[in-house]
């Protein structure tokens, strides 16, 4: 068997294209504020990509950049200003933050109705109880890709490897909401291979290159590789051994070009949704 590719670039373009009529129907363009603190090169690239896409979609957007020495009180005051700004529908603070800034305090400061990154504890609680809120962007992207396979999710054996608040935990919730039977594996899991062998859906979100061996994959499984790892030779690879896994799986996401591009598309979708809610249209 040779897997069909879940092309995140093409699917994210479709997701973004589908937003156009919703944006046009709003009384004003959706507003997104992206805050970057410090000079982490990877964060700078992520922020640039997000603001570029917001620009392309005609959002009113602002990129606010601060030096790494920014005081926490100043960042919190900035967030308070954005919370109060009626033209801002979404606030995203790019992580990781410099060490002296408390991630939890910063996240807690964001108005949950503008938490388009879906990382606020209120967003996590709403998701947990299957109530409307904001689903964090990478997990939402994983589910969008999964839906595109057309596979029956009800009752499917799903394995999520990783339990971070950013990816693993919300993905597990979403799979459970889709009526999968979900197992969550982590660094203390005994015999990961055995869990992978049983899974009809595997979501790998660890950050260790090629740790999921291709030979473990159940024939016909759907493999969603969230991991993004840079090898010493500069190549980007996922957490799954791609070529041998693709021999056995029915569907697989490549790295790069799989889950990665979906994250920005879902951020745009969340920002449009936030604007719609602000105008009582969702």
**Is-contact 51 34, C-beta < 8 A?**
yes
212 touches ligand NDP (CB under 6 A): no
Select the residue interacting with ligand NDP from 94, 136, 138, 253 (CB under 6 A). 138
**CA nearest 159: which of 224, 94, 73?**
224
82 touches ligand NDP (CB under 6 A): no
The stretch among 62-70, 110-118, 175-183, 204-212 that binds ligand NDP (CB under 6 A) is 204-212
Count, residues near ligand NDP per rule CB under 6 A: 25
Select the residue interacting with ligand NDP from 100, 186, 230, 281 (CB under 6 A). 186
Select the residue interacting with ligand NDP from 166, 203, 252, 266 (CB under 6 A). 166
162 touches ligand NDP (CB under 6 A): yes
Select the residue interacting with ligand NDP from 31, 133, 227, 254 (CB under 6 A). 227
Binding track over 98-137 against ligand NDP, x by CB under 6 A: ----------------------------------------
Select the residue interacting with ligand NDP from 80, 187, 231, 281 (CB under 6 A). 187
Select the residue interacting with ligand NDP from 149, 164, 181, 183 (CB under 6 A). 164
In eight-state DSSP terms, residue 88 is: -
> Which CB atom, from 70 or from 124, has the smaller least distance to ligand NDP?
124
Q: Which residues bind ligand NDP (CB under 6 A)?
A: 138, 161-164, 166-168, 185-189, 192, 205-208, 226-229, 259-260, 263
């Amino acid at each position: 068997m040779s897997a069909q590719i879940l092309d995140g670039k093409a699917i994210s373009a479709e997701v973004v294209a589908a937003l156009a009529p919703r944006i046009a129907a709003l009384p004003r363009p959706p507003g997104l504020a992206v805050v970057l603190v410090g000079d982490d090169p990877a964060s700078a690239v992520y922020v640039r990509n997000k603001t570029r896409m917001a620009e392309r979609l005609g959002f009113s957007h602002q990129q606010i950049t601060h030096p790494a020495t920014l005081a926490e009180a100043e960042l919190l005051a900035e967030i308070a200003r954005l919370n109060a700004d009626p033209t801002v529908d979404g606030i995203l603070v790019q992580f990781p933050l410099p060490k002296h800034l408390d991630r939890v305090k910063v996240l807690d400061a964001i108005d949950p109705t503008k938490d388009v990154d879906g990382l606020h504890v209120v967003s996590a609680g709403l998701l947990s109880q299957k109530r409307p809120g904001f689903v964090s962007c990478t997990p939402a992207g994983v589910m969008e890709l999964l839906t595109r396979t057309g596979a029956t999710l009800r009752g499917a054996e799903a394995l999520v490897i990783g339990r971070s608040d950013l990816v693993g935990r919300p993905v597990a919730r979403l799979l459970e909401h889709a009526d999968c039977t979900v197992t969550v594996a982590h660094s203390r899991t005994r015999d990961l291979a055995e869990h992978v062998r049983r899974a009809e859906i595997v979501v790998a979100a660890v950050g260790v290159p090629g740790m999921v061996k291709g030979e473990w994959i159940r024939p016909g499984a759907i493999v969603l590789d969230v991991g993004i790892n840079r090898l010493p030779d500069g190549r980007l690879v996922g957490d799954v051994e791609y070529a041998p896994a693709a021999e056995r799986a029915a569907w697989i996401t490549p790295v790069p070009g799989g889950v990665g591009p979906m994250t920005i598309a879902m951020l745009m979708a969340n920002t449009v949704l936030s604007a719609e809610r602000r105008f009582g249209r969702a």
